[in-house]
């Protein structure tokens, strides 16, 4: 059985839709980072999105764990024209509302859809399982990326997946039995 410990990166404090913008994380809470690192299996492999907020969070909790190359497939949803906008200032507000209320094939302008992001993240998780069967893997990623995997593991709709909180520096445990994913604890804050 492979266990994935999905960790959401440290906070950016941005009050906007942050997808592929490369904002740094606030990693000043060293006590929380220590608790997070101590909570995770010490012999796990660690991988992260290639965005600095995930990379730096992974480095902060890595300890003596083996680091795998950053994987851009673990990035957040590409919000395209909505990137760094808030809900009140984003272009095409009706489309934005539909994007969140009926997630699926509707794309962000010049961005990607929920289904596109899910396929990308799932390909990364599948490749990691195949390359490292039976290993514990810590994947430091983003809220949307983690929720795509929660959706798959729980067999729920994307809209239902949005009902789950994924706090910064939280851990979501998903397990793969060789056939399918199973959800463990979601949004655990050590």
* Domain segments of the chain as ranges: 2-79+114-183
Q: Does domain 2-79+114-183 have CATH number 3.40.50.1240?
A: yes
Percent of the chain topping pLDDT 70: 100
Q: State residue 79's pLDDT score.
A: 96
Q: State residue 178's pLDDT score.
A: 85
pLDDT tens for the chain, residues 1 to 190 = 899 999 999 999 999 999 999 999 999 999 999 999 999 999 999 999 999 999 999 999 999 999 999 999 999 999 999 999 988 888 899 999 999 999 999 999 999 999 999 999 999 999 999 999 999 999 999 999 999 999 999 999 999 999 999 999 999 999 999 889 999 999 999 9
Q: State residue 87's pLDDT score.
A: 85
Q: State residue 139's pLDDT score.
A: 98
Non-local CB neighbours of 127 within 8 Å, separated by 6+ positions: none
Only one residue has tokens 């039995």, namely: 177
Write down the pTM of the prediction. Answer: 0.96
Q: State residue 76's pLDDT score.
A: 98
Q: State residue 138's pLDDT score.
A: 98
- Per-residue pLDDT tens over the stretch 50-94: 999 999 999 999 999 999 999 999 999 999 999 999 888 888 999
């Amino acid at each position: 059985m492979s266990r994935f410990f999905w960790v959401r990166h440290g906070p950016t404090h941005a009050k906007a839709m942050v997808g592929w913008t490369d904002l740094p994380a606030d990693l000043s809470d060293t006590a929380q980072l220590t608790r997070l690192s101590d909570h995770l299996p010490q012999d796990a492999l660690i991988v992260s999105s290639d965005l600095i907020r995930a990379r730096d969070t992974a480095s902060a909790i890595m300890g003596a764990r083996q680091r795998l190359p950053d994987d851009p497939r673990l990035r957040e949803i590409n919000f395209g024209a909505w990137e760094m906008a808030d809900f009140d200032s984003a272009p095409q507000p009706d489309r934005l509302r539909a994007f969140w209320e009926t997630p699926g094939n509707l794309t962000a302008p010049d961005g990607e859809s929920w289904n596109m992001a899910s396929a990308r993240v799932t390909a990364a998780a599948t490749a990691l399982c195949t390359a490292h069967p039976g290993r514990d893997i810590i994947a430091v990623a983003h809220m949307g990326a983690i929720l795509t995997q929660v959706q798959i593991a729980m067999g729920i709709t994307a809209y239902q997946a949005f009902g789950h909180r994924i706090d910064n520096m939280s851990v979501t445990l998903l397990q793969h039995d060789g056939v399918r994913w199973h959800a463990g604890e979601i949004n655990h804050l050590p």
